[in-house]
Structure 1
């Protein structure tokens, strides 16, 4: 499916996380092409690939393993989230993705605390 069609037909789980995570930095992007695959949600800076899996993935365990191995060979860290888990707890899923991005960046929080500059003592 072409990239534009994938963006326009995102699953409810993808959208639930995207609407929460899109304002954070480092930036995340949807449907990133890493030929021959398309990553559902990615943070380029952290090299973090997030895959949202639905029931159709129960029959594609071997294909998903090959995909994960390929992306890892290109330096990506891959996490997989079940759509049902994301929809049950979208805030928790988003926090998990942000924590993993911070881990990939060496512990840097993906959205730093506000600067103390200009505050009175």
Structure 2
């Protein structure tokens, strides 16, 4: 659905480092997203332009970000989400506490968005 962003050297190096330092919530969600468990391929800690996103499904143009309290009302996140939209990606954001406390609800919401995005394909 969407094309890849250009990769920059700093973001590639940062992504490699982050893949080895997943948070507990990222590990938990990754265990459910990997190996096409939701019917599509996700990549984790993926460089996209000047950003590194937590998870991305290129097939459906979906970015998933897990946020801690430092992201509350973040202007940087709004700019980042707008940049993703400009490249055809929808961003879903979940609080870490949502992943810990309601993983099934998080997965259901991701699945609904994936289905809707698949239906947008020509």
Q: What TM-score do you get using the length of structure 1 for normalisation?
A: 0.81
* 3-state SS of 1:31 partner: strand
Runs of 4+ in 1 over 3 A off after TM superposition: none
For 1:99-110, what aligned pairs fall within 5 Å after superposition?
99-106=112-119
1:6 and 1:28 mapped to 2: Cα distance?
16
Distance 2:117 2:27 in 1: 23
Specify which structure has the higher proportion of helix. 2
- Measured against aligned partners, the alpha-carbon deviations of 1:57-115 in whole angstroms (never above 9, x if no partner) come to 12x6111000000010010011100001111011221221122111111179xxxxxxx
Give the equivalent residue in structure 1 for 2:19: 7
Q: Distance in 1 between matches of 2:59 and 2:77?
A: 23
1:30 aligned partner: 44
Does residue 102 of structure 2 align to residue 80 of structure 1?
Answer: no
Alignment length (residue pairs): 107
Decide whether the 8 Å contact of 1:53 with 1:83 is kept in 2.
yes
| Partner SS, residue 106 of structure 1 | helix
Report the TM-score, using the length of structure 2 for normalisation: 0.80
Give the direction of change, closer, same or farther, for the CA distance of 1:28–1:76 in structure 2 (3 Å limit): same
Supply the RMSD in Å over aligned alpha carbons: 1.8
Structure number with greater Rg is: 1
Runs of 5+ unmatched residues, structure 2? 1-12
- Unaligned runs of 5+ residues in structure 1 are 109-121
